[in-house]
């Protein structure tokens, strides 16, 4: 029976956790303690990061996310520590030394090592040997090293122990189990393996052809401690698909003997007596039968976790960049979802995203109705005052883009030609067939919903992409291989932080977008939309409290991230929280102007000092934020919208020549470089060594998903669909000397593209062909 901790003991545990976390996030224990208190009370990370800076000492959202993650891990570990203590105590085996060892364990692995001898286990060979009375034999061998073990074993032969060999094997089994359950020895061997082990892979005979995409790992070997996450994941997948055999072990000639010597040294077998020799033999046996296997499992688990964390981090960073990419803005937009045989789906949306018109045109085989298609596009453009044309980057994208270009030439000179932009279709088909899309467009064909999504994501990528599961956006590596729960939680946090960083228009936002606002969630978001549909636009933030089920706590968390433009209260259009309106009003009054006049006039507050408006409840950080917001109310943190222009005549990989300088859009960033869409249905790779004229440790230092960049083509391998690019000023054709990761990723369709473009169209399984070491599965890109 587990006994609850006393209050002082529980507080001591929490204090220990706070100290550990403070080291992890470079903050004080008091900052951590204050933040934990807020999170435990139900506060959200965006709210704490933005509106409780005084309480936490200014911890940002990244620190707070790490804090929350570590808090869960460490609390779980403390609960496990308590369980182990109680279990051993119930067995009557808890000593002071053991209690101290358990209290001093600083990770879960060490805790489990200590608990191993006391953990209830199934019947083992060592148990049977003990039942057969062979433990005294082992002790005799250990204590009387000069005696021959066979002579000592002779007296232990019985009906159940038939021979001397059986007796010695039983003693060996007991000693092997004791060694494998020794926490100190286990820890030292684990440290040794982490330093010295190699991970290797070799192809299974007969699998060379079927597993060609894993050819870089048919005979691969490198240090376990040094292997990059993407290579580890590639080997793990190759092993899972039974293409290669994987091994994690120290060097056979030097490492294994050293490991066995460590086990032998633990038994103090430095002598040359018969007993020493027998014990050294058991040490070798224990390594081969127990330690090598159990440590393989441990290191494999550690490797998988390490690689998963890196892959999830890369996915999260890329997703954040895409969600916070530049919006084209509120402009009438025509969306085109390309298709060859089935036709091009067309949707027109107004500046608020409302669907005004839809159509399907057939400019390609088999119908080839080019004139009819051009006429329909001209009609829609002139009728609805189209300012933007969003062309999906799927199959037929290049042909559709040409059709649009020819159509725009036919516009009367009096009509301003709209801007043509190729937009990623990532996840469009997933969204089109979703329950959400059915609710949003019950009378619209599934195929036409995709065209609407493409148009809307050009206007505002964040507002549209939140409707799609993050995994379907396709900017991660090996996303189907990593821990799905961990990946889902990480990506949900990225979406929440991005939405709240930008803010949400309360009177136009969809339910999926509102659901990501701090403190709301799907249920309250639905209630808000229902209330808005029934009673019209919200006149103020305070009127949110009239929504059924939305109480003071939810209002406190959400209000600052919701915007109401042209409402009853000017501050409702800003990120100033309603709880601080009085402070904002005092600042405005001190300026000698009224609220409407001062908002957006940065010079109006230059003579005022934030320090003069600090109160008991609102410190200097909050007051400074209010000043900033009054100067630029509702400022969008996203960059200015711009596009990449693809080179005419460069449409397929066969059009590429080394030395060409092209413009493109970064579609994905990995640990080894960045993938760039240059308009040839196949992304090229700028290896990390080719990103800049300086040493680059992390590609994210130089580029992010959505960036428009200038590149040189350095190598093209058409049969393998490999494109090597460089962003260096001194780049030369054929001069990309990066390692195997220098080649292009899986098939990617794309043309001129705006900054927010992710890749691909569906959330299918990542492609893995023709790329070698770099990226067996960089992104989801299939239409």
Instruction: Residue 549: give its domain's CATH number.
Output: 1.10.150.310
Of 631, 654, 684, the domain-final residue = 631
Please check whether residues 338 and 419 belong to one and the same domain: yes
Query: Among 582, 600, 631, which residue terminates a domain?
Result: 631
Distance from C-alpha of 516 to C-alpha of 503, rounded to nearest angstrom: 10
**Within a domain: 780:** no
Q: Are the C-beta atoms of 658 and 711 separated by less than 8 Å?
A: no
- The DSSP string of 6-21 is PHHHHHHHHHHHHHHH
Q: How far apart are CA 483 and CA 475, in angstroms?
A: 16
Same domain? 158 vs 69: no
Q: What is the pLDDT of residue 431?
A: 86
Structure tokens at 141: 């061998």
Residue 645 is predicted with a pLDDT of 76
Q: Is the domain of 235 the same as that of 113?
A: no
Q: What is the rounded distance in angstroms from the CA atom of residue 144 to the CA atom of residue 653? A: 77
Cis geometry, peptide bond prior to residue 705 (ω within 30 degrees of 0): no
Instruction: Specify if 586 maps to a domain.
Output: yes
22, 27, 57, 55: which is closest to 41 by C-alpha? 55
Residue 53 maps to a domain: yes
Judge whether 726 lies within some domain. Answer: no
pLDDT in tens, 158-216: 999 999 999 999 999 999 999 999 999 999 999 999 999 999 999 999 998 888 888 88
Distances (CA, A) of 229 to 313, 478, 660: 11, 10, 32
Asked if the structure places residue 569 within a domain, the reply is yes
pLDDT at 685: 93
- 54: CATH: 1.10.10.650
Kindly report the length of the chain.
Answer: 783
Query: What pLDDT does 388 receive?
Result: 93
**Phi, psi (deg, nearest 5) at residue 490:** -65, -45
CA angle 678, 680, 685 (to 5 degrees): 50
350, 292: one domain? no
pLDDT for res 775: 36
Q: How far apart are CA 7 and CA 633, in angstroms?
A: 47
At 159, list the tokens. Answer: 């009906």
For the beta carbon of residue 555, count every other beta carbon within 10 angstroms. Answer: 19
Residue 227 has φ and ψ, to the nearest 5°, of -65, 135
Instruction: Yes or no: say if 181 and 127 are a contact pair by the CB < 8 Å rule.
Output: no
If asked whether residues 85 and 167 sit together in one domain, one would say no
530: number of Cβ within 10 Å: 13
Gyration radius of the chain over CA positions: 32
Q: Which of 277, 310, 343 is the last residue of a domain?
A: 310
Asked if residue 511 and residue 445 are part of one domain, the reply reads: no
Q: What is the pLDDT of residue 736?
A: 54
pLDDT, residue 680, reads 81
Alpha-carbon distances of 640 from 420, 460, 756, rounded to whole Å: 17, 12, 11
For residue 27, the 8-state DSSP code is -
Instruction: Tell which residue, 308, 294, 302, 306, has the closest CA to residue 259.
Output: 294
Q: Say yes or no: 305 and 339 in one domain.
A: no
Are 631 and 605 in contact by the 8 Å Cβ rule? The answer is: yes
Q: Could you tell me the two tokens for 131?
A: 């039942």
Determine how β-strand 684-687 pairs with β-strand 722-726. Answer: parallel
DSSP class per residue in 446-471: HHHHHHHHHHHHHH-HHHHHTTS-GG
Residues 164 and 113 in one domain: no
Query: Are 159 and 111 within one domain?
Result: no
Q: How far apart are CA 425 and CA 433, in angstroms?
A: 14
The phi, psi pair for 3, rounded to 5°, reads -95, 135
CATH number at residue 401: 3.30.420.140
Q: Are 335 and 456 in contact (CB under 8 A)?
A: yes
Retrieve residue 738's tokens.
């990066």
CA distances from 637 to 5, 217, 328, 352, 640 (A): 47, 43, 14, 20, 9
Distance CA 189, CA 260 (A): 10
Element housing 336 (H / E): strand 333-337
C-alpha angle with apex 271: 267 to 276, nearest 5 degrees?
A: 50
Residue 434 to residues 321, 430, 441, 469, Cα–Cα distance (Å) = 25, 6, 11, 10
Identify whether residues 278 and 230 lie together within a single domain: yes
Number of domains the chain is built from: 4
Is residue 736 one of the residues assigned to a domain? no
Give a yes or no: residue 668 inside a domain.
Answer: no
DSSP 604-631: GGTT--GGGG--SSS-HHHHHHHHHHHH
Same domain, 364 and 408: yes
Which residue ranges of the chain lie beneath pLDDT 70? 1-8, 474-478, 600, 602, 634, 735-783
Which of 280, 283, 263, 33 lies closest to 145, judged by CA? Answer: 280
| φ, ψ for residue 27, nearest 5 deg | -140, 170
Measure the CA–CA gap between 424 and 596, rounded to whole angstroms.
Answer: 40
For residues 523 and 595, membership in a common domain is answered with: yes
Q: Residue 167: which CATH number?
A: 1.10.3500.10
Answer yes or no: is 430 within a domain. yes
pLDDT, residue 372, reads 93
Sequence-ordered alpha helix ranges (H) in 415-568:
428-432, 435-440, 446-459, 461-465, 484-502, 511-515, 521-535, 552-558
For 413, the domain range is: 333-468
């Amino acid at each position: 029976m587990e006994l609850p901790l006393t209050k002082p003991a529980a507080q001591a545990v929490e204090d220990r956790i706070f100290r550990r976390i403070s080291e992890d996030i470079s903050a004080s224990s008091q900052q951590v303690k204050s933040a934990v208190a807020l999170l435990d009370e139900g506060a959200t990370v965006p709210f704490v990061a933005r509106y409780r800076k005084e309480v936490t000492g200014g911890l940002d959202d990244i620190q707070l996310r790490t804090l929350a993650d570590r808090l869960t891990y460490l609390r779980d570990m403390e609960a496990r520590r308590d369980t182990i203590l109680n279990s051993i105590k119930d067995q009557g085996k808890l000593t002071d030394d053991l209690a101290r060892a358990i209290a001093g364990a600083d990770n879960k692995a060490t805790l489990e090592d200590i608990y191993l001898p006391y953990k209830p286990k199934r019947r083992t060979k060592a148990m049977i040997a003990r039942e057969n009375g062979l433990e005294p034999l082992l002790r005799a061998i250990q204590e009387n090293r000069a005696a021959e073990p066979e002579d000592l074993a002779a007296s232990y032969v019985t009906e159940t122990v038939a021979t001397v060999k059986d007796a010695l094997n039983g003693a060996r089994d007991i000693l092997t189990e004791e060694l494998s359950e020794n926490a100190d020895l286990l820890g030292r061997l684990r440290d040794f393996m982490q330093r010295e082990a190699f991970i290797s892979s070799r192809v299974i005979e007969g699998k060379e052809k079927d597993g060609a995409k894993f050819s870089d790992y048919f005979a691969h070997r490198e240090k376990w401690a040094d292997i990059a996450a993407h290579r580890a994941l590639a080997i793990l997948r190759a092993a899972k698909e039974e293409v290669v055999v994987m091994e994690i072990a120290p060097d056979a000639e030097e490492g294994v003997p050293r490991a066995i010597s460590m086990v032998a040294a633990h038994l103090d077998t430095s002598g040359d007596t018969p007993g020493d020799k027998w014990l050294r033999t058991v040490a070798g046996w224990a390594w081969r039968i127990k330690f090598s296997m159990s440590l393989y499992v441990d290191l494999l688990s550690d490797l998988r976790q390490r690689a998963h964390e890196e892959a999830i981090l890369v996915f999260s960073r890329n997703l954040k960049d895409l969600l916070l990419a530049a919006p084209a803005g509120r402009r009438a937009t025509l969306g085109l979802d390309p298709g060859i045989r089935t036709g091009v789906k067309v949707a027109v949306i107004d500046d608020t995203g409302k669907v005004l018109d839809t159509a399907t045109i057939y400019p390609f085989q088999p119908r080839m109705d080019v004139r009819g298609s051009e006429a329909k596009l001209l009609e829609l453009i002139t009728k609805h005052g189209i300012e933007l044309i969003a062309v999906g980057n799927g199959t037929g994208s290049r042909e559709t883009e040409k059709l649009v270009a020819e159509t725009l030439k036919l516009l009367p000179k009096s009509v301003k030609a709209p801007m043509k932009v190729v937009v990623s279709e990532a996840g469009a088909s997933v969204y089109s067939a979703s329950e959400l899309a059915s609710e949003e467009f019950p009378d619209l064909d599934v195929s036409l919903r995709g065209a609407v999504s493409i148009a809307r994501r050009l206007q505002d990528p964040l507002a549209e992409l939140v409707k799609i599961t993050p995994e379907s956006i396709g900017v991660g590596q090996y996303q189907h291989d990593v821990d799905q729960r961990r990946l889902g939680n990480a990506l949900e946090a990225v979406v929440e932080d991005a939405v709240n960083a930008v803010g949400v228009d309360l009177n136009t936002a969809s339910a999926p977008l509102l659901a990501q606002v701090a403190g709301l969630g799907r249920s309250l978001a639905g209630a808000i939309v229902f209330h808005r549909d029934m009673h019209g636009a919200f006149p103020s933030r305070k009127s949110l409290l009239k929504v059924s089920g939305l109480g003071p706590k939810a209002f406190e968390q959400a209000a600052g991230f919701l915007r109401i433009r042209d409402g009853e209260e000017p501050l409702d259009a800003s990120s100033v929280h309603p709880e601080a309106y009085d402070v904002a009003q005092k600042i405005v009054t001190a300026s000698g102007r009224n609220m409407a006049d001062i908002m957006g006039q940065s010079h109006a507050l230059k003579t005022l000092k934030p320090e003069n408006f600090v109160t008991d409840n609102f410190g200097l950080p909050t007051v400074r934020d209010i000043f900033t917001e009054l100067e630029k109310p509702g400022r969008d943190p996203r960059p200015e919208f711009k596009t990449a222009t693809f080179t005419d005549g460069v449409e397929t990989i066969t059009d590429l020549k080394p030395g060409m300088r092209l413009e493109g859009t970064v579609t994905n960033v990995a640990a080894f470089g960045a993938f760039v869409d240059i308009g040839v249905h196949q992304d090229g790779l700028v290896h990390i060594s080719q990103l800049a004229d300086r040493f680059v440790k992390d590609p994210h230092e130089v580029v992010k998903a959505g960036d428009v960049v200038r590149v040189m083509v350095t190598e093209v391998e058409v049969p393998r669909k490999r494109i090597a690019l460089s962003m260096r000023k001194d780049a030369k054709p054929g001069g990309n000397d990066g390692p195997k990761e220098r080649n292009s990723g899986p098939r990617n369709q794309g043309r001129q593209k705006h900054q927010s473009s992710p890749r691909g169209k569906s959330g299918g399984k990542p492609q893995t062909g023709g790329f070698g070491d770099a990226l067996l599965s960089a992104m989801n890109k299939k239409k």
